[in-house]
Structure 1
């Protein structure tokens, strides 16, 4: 199913690296791996994997440094940060080094596989489709928008929300479905938090956020991304 899709696992915990590698190979992915942050950049640049699973804490070089270095060298594929520390997730969400997404440790292997399948479906197989709207271009792997030759940074959650809407254009999306897609099954997020992220996203994509042309509210249900 995933023949030809290469995933790099950069993780110093040998047991976890083995478990993830074994499962992903069973799912049909090609896997390369390393437990050393110092050699990760050269390995990834040489092998050009479609997806990188990158641990936050690594010997010799942290995941944030590796990600920054990869982006500076022109690597634009998906980079998913793996982190056990909730405060580190906050740092990742600040997007100073170009992470595409993150997964919190400990993670369920089925959830990780589902996440990767979503990346393959929407970010890789459709990477040249569904990324333009209005006068903007969405680059999901680097969580950014291009408008009038200017780059607009998106947070991880804004990126997830926008990507979901762009793959479901002109459909009415309920708040519950959107929260499940963006935050996942174990989330205690409420609709107010979702609405706050929608407001922030509108400020980045709408010419007049108070009268949105794209991301419209459907009263009593949720939202609709208008792209007629």
Structure 2
């Protein structure tokens, strides 16, 4: 399911936006300021962010800049009570994709969200393919040729995260924060256990391997 992060310190606006998004089938995460939004983004898979400009602790400008540094392919829709041209220009310069001035029509907001998701090809196309293997994030299933395999949720999310950036090294701490969340109280050796299970499940699959990078963490490699 496509997950949208809504960052706005106005509870009424968040409630309105989230109501229309949920009614349209989206999964929602909520934040009351930019700092909380960044923490949520680091702890789970987020497909699009709707962010207000005027927020406490970290405003929308700073949040937009940090999100864009973290991910060039994350759709960003900026909300504001103001409509001055210079603010729109600044937002676009910082990396926002679209702009909506309050008060706005929720149906227009929905249309803009769907347009951004389509532009970034987020939704039904959330698949990673390599060799005979396909990871389908919509169904959380792995296709091995014509065979389908359903993994436990955390195993799938771990594999999807690693496979999304072949060759990139992730530390155990990064994987814990991005998949289990920054509030996870368990041992980071949880990652080792899940990696071991993934290796055992796909031992007979020649298309990829998960390598241990001594002293650092893990990386995903596609076999040529």
TM normalised by structure 1 equals 0.49
After superposition, where does 1:1-228 map in structure 2 within 5 Å?
22-23=13-14, 30-33=20-23, 49=24, 51-52=26-27, 110=36, 114=41, 118-120=46-48, 121=74, 125-127=120-122, 128=125, 131-207=128-204, 213-227=208-222
**Contact 2:163 2:220 (C-alpha < 8 Å) held by counterparts:** yes
**Contact 1:183 1:189 (C-alpha < 8 Å) held by counterparts:** no
List gaps (5 residues or longer) in structure 1: 8-18, 34-48, 54-102
Superposed CA deviations along residues 50-107 of structure 1, whole A, max 9, x for unmatched, are 5245xxxxxxxxxxxxxxxxxxxxxxxxxxxxxxxxxxxxxxxxxxxxxxxxx8xxx8
Question: Residue 151 of structure 1: SS of its match in structure 2?
Answer: strand
Let me know the Cα RMSD of the aligned residues: 3.9
CA distance in 1, matches of 2:167, 2:17: 37
CA distance in 2, matches of 1:138, 1:183: 20
Question: Residue 47 of structure 2: SS of its match in structure 1?
Answer: helix
**Pair 117,140 (structure 1): closer, same or farther in 2 beyond 3 Å:** closer
List gaps (5 residues or longer) in structure 2: 5-9, 49-73, 76-116
CA distance in 2, matches of 1:222, 1:193: 13
CA distance in 2, matches of 1:52, 1:194: 26
Higher-Rg structure is 2
CA distance in 1, matches of 2:192, 2:44: 27
Superposed CA deviations along residues 139-180 of structure 1, whole A, max 9, x for unmatched, are 012111001211100111112111211222111111111111
**Contact 2:170 2:218 (C-alpha < 8 Å) held by counterparts:** yes
